[in-house]
Amino acid sequence: MRERIKWAANEQAAARREVSSQAAAASLSLLTTEQVARVSTFHASIPEYEPTPLVRLDGLAAQLGLKSLYVKDESYRFGLNAFKVLGGSYAVARHIAERLGRDIAELPYAELVSPATRAAVGQITFYSATDGNHGRGVAWAANRLGQKSVICMPVGSSQIRLENIRSEGATATITDMNYDEAVLYVKELAENDPNGVVVQDTDWPGYTQIPGWIMQGYATLAAEADMQLHADGVSCPTHVFVQAGVGAFAGAVQGYFANAYGEDCPITTVVEAAAYDCLFRSVLAGELVAASGEWDTIMAGLACGEGCGVSWEVLHEKARFFTSAPDWVSARGMRMLAAPPAGDAPVKSGESGAVGVGLVATLMLEDEYHKLREAMGLGADSVVLCVSTEGDTDPQRYRDIVWDGYCPSGNWD
């Protein structure tokens, strides 16, 4: 018998949509439209930058009974096949700007990568723990800026993702630790290195600035999607489905739309891997709690047991639903995006990228989940935005799932 999707309506968001707590207000202030515009300007200054595609899936929307379904395809981001570089690049650049005593808005990319800047800031080693995508983004940014990076991956990480990180000039290893233990390990390494800096979207007491910068970097994606929707005649989506590991990306997307649209903000649903659903557990508990254990999931990018406090404040205040999705939900989404109805463009979406679409499809097609569908107000008038956060970052695993049926989805009930 297949594992069920679990869900919870966020009573905090329902009760307090008009008044933010002090902590939430501080986190939301990082993601105002003005702040995000500054971040987007930085990203646009990178020579390889261009907005990733927003794919409109009219055929799939019709089959699911939705008005519209859009998928932001991050497999095109800077040639790195995932969105994470947005956060890592901005955080690394902001740190260097801080060392120079400069405003990042007045520090052109060409100057950032110049030998003069490297001479002025000295040699820095950026440390990070990752399942692959975040670490590759940090390594890419550090390499571009003439700096070093040390990347540690949790046990079971993909060999090809390790090699991709090394190809960006990093010293990278797969450890015998889980993700949360690897974070503590790189924290210790950086503390023992006079020139070491941790670049992580997980936070802890005394370490919130860089996670906040990473969230701001992620928000470029939300701003792009918003502009692309406007260009397609959509004033605002009715629903946004956003996946979460530690939650920094989900908080960035939620924070952007909350600031941009206020009371007209889309209904946001946070989607986690069932094996590591710390935010789902947290909304039930009413406070940020960890999900501990030695579990396995195909969604390696979401395999995080401890949430980010900076983003949690935004999500606890503003996100409307939290869901815990078994692996079959992601596998279904991958297959549907790879082979959509006639007329729709296929999207090559990896294990952590497709879970939002898999969830939407399941809610719309299976009566077992009619209560959640009705609670969300999903139906014929809904304009839904999902984000495919990665492409086939592990091509063999992608083929195992999409071609050969690894992780079966089960039958429609």
Q: Please list the active-site residues.
A: 84, 131
Buried b (16+ CB within 10 A) or exposed e, 35-47: bbeebbebbebbe
- Return the sign of the alpha-carbon dihedral for residues 108, 110, 113, 119: negative
For helices 33-44 and 248-261, the axis angle rounded to 10 degrees is 120
Name the residue with tokens 């040639």. Answer: 79
Neighbouring CB atoms inside 10 A of 405's CB total: 11
Q: Which of 102, 103, 188, 111 is nearest to 146 (CA)?
A: 111
Residue 269: is it exposed, middle or buried by C-beta count within 10 angstroms (0-12/13-18/19+)? buried
Phi-psi category of residue 244: left, alpha or beta, with phi > 0 → left and psi -120 to 50 → alpha: beta
Distance CA(217)–CA(38), nearest Å, equals 10
Distance CA 95, CA 125 (A): 12
* SS3 assignment, position 271: strand
- Name which of 369, 366, 337, 340 is nearest 353 in CA terms: 337
Q: Cα separations (Å) of 169 from 159, 178, 391, 395? A: 16, 24, 22, 21
CA–CA separation, 380 and 262 (whole Å): 24
Specify whether the CB–CB gap between 272 and 325 falls below 8 A.
Answer: yes
3-state secondary structure at position 267:
strand
- Residue whose C-alpha is closest to residue 278's, from 255, 237, 240, 250: 250
CB count within 10 Å of CB 96 equals 25
Distance CA 175, CA 77 (A): 27
Would you give the DSSP letter of residue 278?
A: H
Q: What token pair was written down for 346?
A: 């296929």
